[in-house]
Amino acid sequence: MGENLSVEPLTTNIGARLDGIDIRDISAGQAEAIRNALDEHGVIVFSGQQAGLEDQKRLAEVFGPLEPLPTLKFLGWEPVLVVEDIVKGRRDRPASMQWGEHQGWHTDSTFTAQVPRIAVLRPEIIPPTGGGTSWTSLCAAYDDLSQEMQNWLSGLRATHAEPPGYREAIGLRDKPADVQRAFEEAFPPLSHPIVIRHPRSGRRALFVNPTYTVKIEGLSHKESRHILNFLFNHIAQSDFVYRHRWRDGDIVVWDELVTLHLAPDDYAPHKRRVVRVTAGLETPTAAVAG
């Protein structure tokens, strides 16, 4: 890939490790190679980095201007989110966050008209056990479907809505009533195409997730539930998943359009702290059948 940058695939369908680069000093040629690697692999891992928050921000800016999630921007948040959690047990979390099976897989904020283009994650406190992050490829999941199913899904749209517990998680419940009403007006449930086309690579991908996708338009609730459950289970198959065990010096970038991610709460009773930076905003675009 030029400029001494090497790319090592981590699984058959998703993830690659990029070596030979110091993210504190990224050249124009390396920036384009990084973008191309993300287009191809969906998730890219940098190891052994001596990087801080400002370096993390500059890496995110390789893909576009820094942007918080639309809902967090509404509340005045910055593009940087620090997630710190101590899990004593599953009952410490709200029922909506006690993930099991395929639940918990998501792309950030798909109930908004635009979604983040990419996210960059850097660990600050790594628990001695557990605390990893998993990603699954929505491109590989789409490619694995039959031609007939691909064509049928390409003509459908699905409704996305905020899940139970979301407002508590972002602190909206503590805001004045007029702010809460304004939030509801700004972010009502909305629909996205079930099959989208990646804006750079042109690859097709499923665009549903069990956290935010609630119903397929035009189908009965029963029909929609069965089809969505099939898709959610299909997406979560191990063939499409990369599981990352965090180490000091790791930084991971992922494409928010064509991957889902999941962070199991499997590190009790230890602390975990990660810093996420998001960049760019993209409107999911339907892929034409055929």
| Radius of gyration of the chain measured on its C-alpha atoms | 19
* Bridge partner residues of 16 (DSSP): 9, 44
How far is 183 from 173, CA to CA, in rounded Å? 11
Residue 264, class by beta-carbon neighbours within 10 Å (0-12 exposed, 13-18 middle, 19+ buried)? middle
How far is 44 from 119, CA to CA, in rounded Å? 11
Establish whether 204 is a catalytic residue. Answer: no
Which is the catalytic residue, given 41, 58, 102, 106? 106
Q: Does the CA dihedral 62-206-209-132 come out positive or negative?
A: negative
Fill in the DSSP letter of residue 270.
Answer: S
Establish whether 108 is a catalytic residue. Answer: yes
Establish whether 261 is a catalytic residue. Answer: yes
CB 123 within 8 A of CB 267: no
Establish whether 160 is a catalytic residue. Answer: no
Which is the catalytic residue, given 41, 58, 102, 108? 108
116: number of Cβ within 10 Å = 28
**Residue with structure tokens 């979604």?**
115
Which is the catalytic residue, given 192, 261, 265, 272? 261
CB 61 within 8 A of CB 157: no
Residue 141, class by beta-carbon neighbours within 10 Å (0-12 exposed, 13-18 middle, 19+ buried)? buried
261 phi/psi in degrees, rounded to 5: -135, 160
Q: Which residue, 122, 49, 125, is CA-closest to 80?
A: 122
Q: Position 190: which residue type?
A: L
Element at 38 (helix H, strand E) = helix 28-41
209: tokens are: 């997730």
Residues with catalytic roles: 106, 108, 261, 276
